């Protein structure tokens, strides 16, 4: 168990050996890694624990450098545990490099069914017992998908929780994947309108890039194909505080100046690859739609819901936009089957992803009856017109969880926890404690 120091903190590595399937504790085992962070000089204090659940799915926990970002506030009160959720980071990984070792596509798909919020929460429970004992309780901070996991935690094991803090992550309790994307495309369109209102010169610049991609086969530096649809998916950036500005700077550097024919610059292609590649978080692509699967809500498969629902919104068709002289709209947090053909990090997982998309009878993740009887203090930041999590769904869930207190704000985008210098976390802590 390694222990080291960073500016203002003491950091301890923890690795836990846990069942792949918690219903079969005698079966295959995996490792789950977590990083304990405590303020320097307080490492021997009896501090309450705060476990952080990262957004995703498939995102590893932050790699801090001292008391940075929201840790500046958290370490005033807590001993923080940064969990690499199963399959991510230093936990037993699930990637194109490891998953083929499971066997054929069916074996890979069976393995992938164990990486949703229900399994993550059961991991948390095993880790809690190891660190705090059977009767120990801790607090949870969930960002985005981590908030989904926190609501699952409240449904499965509320007696283990002192308080729950959620930022941009109150899920619809009874919403199908189709419902989620049917609500998402209009939000994406609003973010596009805001982007083009801020940077009107980008309307024609984006149209020029799409026209070029329709007539030219373009490869990214890592070997992936940049299609018009892949370029549109850069809209995933538009829901973050700096995203529209970053996208603008990418677009303005798109073409090499001074050449007789249009050529996309290496700078542009490198920046695009860094945004589009799933090499660092393949589980985001493979499991993004199954995080909405619940047999009591919809027993059938998710079946590429984002792709199917997109057909209901022809304004996102790049060719229609070009023909009509309209702005080309970027998409957002949507996963499409073609991604498993254009991204080298996803290509080896294509068959398994197809089987996951056809998987039926996903277990329920939330217990509305138990949530209605909740006694754990819960505070949630709901970002007004959040691009990634529907505000109406979040507020409906807030009403359905007994005692949950919300802070609805348009001061921050979805990344408010990270960029607010601890202000978002401080507000949630005070809400949960009844100080506001």
* Cis omega (within 30 of 0) for bond into 150: no
| 410 Ramachandran zone, left/alpha/beta (phi>0; psi -120 to 50) | alpha
Counting every residue written for the chain, the total comes to 436
What letters, b where the CB count within 10 A reaches 16 and e where it falls short, cover 236-269? bbbbbeebbeebbebbeebbeeeeeeeebeeebb
- CA 109-232-239 angle, to 5 degrees, is 85
Distance CA 129, CA 12 (A): 18
How is residue 236 written in tokens? 């995933």
Beta partners for residue 407, in sequence order: 381
Q: What is the DSSP letter of 9?
A: E
State whether residue 414 is helix, strand or coil.
coil
- DSSP H helices in 78-227: 105-112, 117-132, 145-156, 177-198, 202-215
How is residue 84 written in tokens? 């690499």
Residue 384: Cβ-neighbour burial (10 angstroms; 0-12, 13-18, 19+): exposed
Distance CA 257, CA 236 (A): 27
User: So which residues are the catalytic ones?
Assistant: 144, 386, 414
């Amino acid at each position: 168990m390694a222990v080291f120091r960073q500016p203002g903190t003491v950091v301890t590595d923890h690795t836990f050996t846990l069942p792949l399937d918690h219903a079969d504790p005698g079966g295959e085992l995996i490792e789950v890694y977590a990083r304990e962070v405590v303020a320097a000089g307080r490492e021997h204090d009896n501090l309450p624990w705060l476990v952080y659940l990262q957004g995703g799915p498939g995102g590893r926990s932050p790699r801090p450098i001292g008391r940075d970002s929201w840790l500046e506030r958290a370490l005033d009160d807590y001993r923080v545990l940064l969990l690499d959720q199963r399959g991510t980071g230093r936990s037993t990984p699930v990637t194109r490099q490891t998953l083929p070792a499971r066997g054929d596509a069916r074996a890979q798909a069976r393995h992938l069914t164990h990486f949703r919020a229900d399994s993550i929460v059961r991991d948390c429970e095993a880790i809690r017992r190891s660190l705090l004992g059977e009767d120990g309780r801790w607090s949870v901070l969930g960002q985005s998908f981590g908030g989904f996991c926190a609501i699952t935690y409240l449904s499965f094991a509320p007696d283990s929780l002192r308080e729950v803090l959620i930022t941009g992550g109150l899920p619809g309790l009874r919403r199908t994947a189709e419902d989620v994307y049917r609500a998402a495309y209009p939000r994406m369109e609003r973010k596009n309108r805001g982007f083009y209102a801020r940077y009107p010169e980008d309307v024609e610049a984006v149209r020029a890039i799409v026209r070029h991609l329709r007539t030219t086969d373009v490869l990214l530096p890592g070997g992936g194909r940049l299609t018009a649809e892949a370029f549109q998916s850069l809209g995933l950036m538009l829901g973050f505080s700096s995203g529209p500005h970053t996208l603008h700077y990418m677009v303005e550097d798109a073409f090499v100046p001074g050449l007789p024919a249009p050529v996309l610059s290496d700078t542009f292609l490198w920046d695009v690859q860094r945004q589009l590649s799933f090499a660092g978080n393949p589980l985001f692509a493979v499991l993004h739609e199954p995080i909405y699967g619940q047999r009591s809500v919809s027993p059938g498969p998710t079946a590429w819901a984002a792709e199917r629902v997109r057909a209901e919104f022809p304004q996102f068709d790049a060719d229609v936009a070009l023909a009509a002289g309209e702005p080309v709209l970027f998409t957002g947090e949507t996963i499409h089957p073609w991604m498993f053909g254009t991204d080298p990090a996803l290509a080896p997982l294509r068959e398994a992803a197809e089987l996951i998309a056809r998987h039926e009878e996903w277990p329920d993740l939330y217990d509305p009856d138990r949530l209605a009887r909740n006694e754990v203090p819960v505070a949630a930041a709901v970002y007004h017109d959040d691009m990634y999590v529907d505000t109406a769904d979040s507020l409906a869930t807030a009403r359905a969880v007994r005692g949950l207190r919300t802070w609805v704000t348009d001061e921050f985008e979805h990344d408010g926890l990270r960029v607010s210098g601890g202000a978002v976390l401080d507000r949630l802590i005070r809400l949960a404690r009844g100080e506001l």
